[in-house]
Each structure stands twice: as C-alpha cells, then as structure tokens.
Structure 1
Amino acid sequence: MGIVRPHLWFSDDALEAAQFYVSVIPNSRILNVFEAPTDMPGVTKGQPFIVQYELDGQRVEALNGGPTLQLNAAFSFIVDCADQAEVDHYWDALLADGGEPVACGWLTDRFGVSWQVVPMALMELTLGADADPDGKARATEVMLTQTKIEIAPIEAAYRGE
C-alpha cells in the first residue's frame, strides 16, 4: 500500500458514501470510522468525522467537514471495465438514487463524487499506440456524442462502418 491516498470532503454523509462505494466496487472495505472528539464546524461530537476505506485496494479517506467545500469534477474516480456488461453494471449502480449522467462516460453520483466508467476497448480504439489514426479519429467522434459509453458503435466507427 502506497503513502498517497485521495481525501474527499463531504458535508455530512462521508460514512454513507463510503458504505455505498464499498457495496458497489469489489475488493473494497471500510477500514476505520473516527468520531469527532468535540463539536466542530459541520460535525457534532461523537458523529462520524473521518472515514477510511479501500476501493479495490486503493485507500481513500473521507471527511465530514460541513458545507464549506464542495466536491466537483476536477477530481474523479476511474472504473476500468472489461466489457459492456461491466460498463452497464457500474454506470447503473453509481447513478442509483439520484446520480447524474454527464458526458463521455462521466457521471456524478448522489454524493457529488465524479466517476469515469471506461471500457478498456475505448482506450485501445481512441488512444492505442498501434491503432489506425483515421479509426481513432472516427471512434473518438462517436465517443464524444455519447453519455454512457457504448462500445459497439465506437468499434463500428473505428472500422469505418
């Protein structure tokens, strides 16, 4: 385990968000929940203050810090997907109960965290070093029209169909 980890600021639902994420992402677990030792801005003594968890082995820390700072799309988690079934699964799960689709495989979940749900084929067809330059351009043009990434139309565009 490395010495660097993301730290997310939530208004008051860091524990609920962590519980949701570990239920969606395999190989994930909550490590620690630290309660506020005293009343603090945005959190009452004894309430969850810092939540440490792992998402597929990546350590993450979340803080209940009140509404002072807001999450935005400048930070996002990427979910690498093997195929369309995985894209569909994670897309639907992360949008559940109030998430918002954005564009090009990006979404914001109900807690305000941004996610990129990316099939590996997208990277190969649009950025691959061995990919045909014209095919990459066609595949990228199709990807730019999508909200959730659909692999089949991108593959067809790459082939020139």
Structure 2
Amino acid sequence: MPKITPNLWFDTKALEAAEFYVSVFPDSKVNHVSYYGEGGPRPAGTVLTVDFELDGQAYTALNGGPEFTFDEAVSFVIDCADQEEVDHYWSRLTADGGEESQCGWLKDKYGLSWQVVPAVIGELMTDPDTGRTQRAFAALMEMRKIDVAALLAAADKA
C-alpha cells in the first residue's frame, strides 16, 4: 500500500506550525526543511516545505500563500486514553489564540481543526444500552472540552 502523507497548506508559518506541533506530541520531530530558490513566487531562502512527524505519522507543511485556508471539513482526531491526556492536548492546542468549539473540537492558533477525544467515547457511542448512549450523546452535545467523569455520570443516570 502506498504511503499517505497529509499535506498542510499555510500562508507563511509552515515551519513555526511544524515546530509547535512537534512540541505538543511525544516522539515527534522535524525531518527536513526546503526553501524557495531564485525565481520562485516567494523570496529566495523563504521556507517552502517542512517534513515532520507526529508520533511516527509523516506530515508535510507548505508555505503556499494565502489562497487556501483550513476549515472544519478536515480535522485530526487525537485518541486520548483518559482525562489527563484530553486536558493536556486541549490546553496545548487552544493556547495562544486557539479556539474552543463543541464536542471536543477545537481550532489551533494556525486554524487547523482537531478533535480531542477520550477512548470512553467509542465505548459509550456503541453501548448496546441505547438509553445510555443517548444520555451520553446529549451530555456530549453540551460540552466544549470533553469531561469524562461528567459524560459517564450522564450515561449512567437512570
């Protein structure tokens, strides 16, 4: 199977964004930075692309200009083990200009959308007790950052 690498289009902050993401996720690194040469659409020496990894997943960030921006049609899901991980990623990705949204969604300061989701969500949304699923879903719809204890309490409320 061919390797699939998400390519993220930035105006001018590809390297800054890649370095930020690498600081947020463990086992991550910037692998290579390429630069515009003479005769390009940007001044020679300006960052063109950044190849980086987030916990082993390859990404490329491109300084392509202001023509395209991120929107919620594409997001990255962070599968968190517990509330501690949810809190960590939520606080890091909403810092310095990130925006909270609903149901565990947020936009970071670069405009990229993320879903910060605890493992318990999968269990609750596929629970054979449909009443439990519906109560958990109703509670989830009222949350910004997901609160695992509150979600479980709502699910188990009879």
Please indicate, yes or no, whether the TM-score normalized by the shorter chain is above 0.5: yes
Q: Which runs of 5+ in 1 are unaligned?
A: none
Q: 2: CA distance between counterparts of 1:2 and 1:107?
A: 30
Structure 1 position 149, deviation (Å): 0.5
Match of 1:135 among 132, 135, 143: 132
Hey, which bits of structure 1, 4+ residues long, moved more than 4 A?
A: none
Aligned residue identity for 2:13: D
Aligned to 2:30: 30
Q: 1: CA distance between counterparts of 2:38 and 2:135?
A: 57
User: Is 1:151–2:148 an aligned residue pair?
Assistant: yes
Structure 1 position 118, deviation (Å): 0.4
Q: Which runs of 5+ in 2 are unaligned?
A: none
How many aligned residue pairs are there?
Answer: 158
Aligned residue identity for 1:159: D
RMSD value, Cα: 1.4
Normalised by the length of structure 2, the TM-score is 0.95
Normalised by the length of structure 1, the TM-score is 0.93
Equivalent position SS for 1:69 = coil
Deviations along 1:33-69, whole A, 9 cap, x unmatched?
Answer: 001123533x321111101101111100110011011
Deviations along 1:119-139, whole A, 9 cap, x unmatched?
Answer: 00111112x2x4411100110
Equivalent position SS for 2:109 = coil
User: Is 1:9–2:9 an aligned residue pair?
Assistant: yes
Aligned to 1:110: 109
Q: 2: CA distance between counterparts of 1:19 and 1:76?
A: 19
Deviations along 1:99-158, whole A, 9 cap, x unmatched?
Answer: 0001100000001111110000111112x2x44111001100100110110111110111
Aligned to 2:82: 83
Q: 2: CA distance between counterparts of 1:150 and 1:58?
A: 27
Matched-pair identity in %:
47
Equivalent position SS for 2:58 = strand
Structure 1 position 2, deviation (Å): 5.4
Equivalent position SS for 2:20 = helix
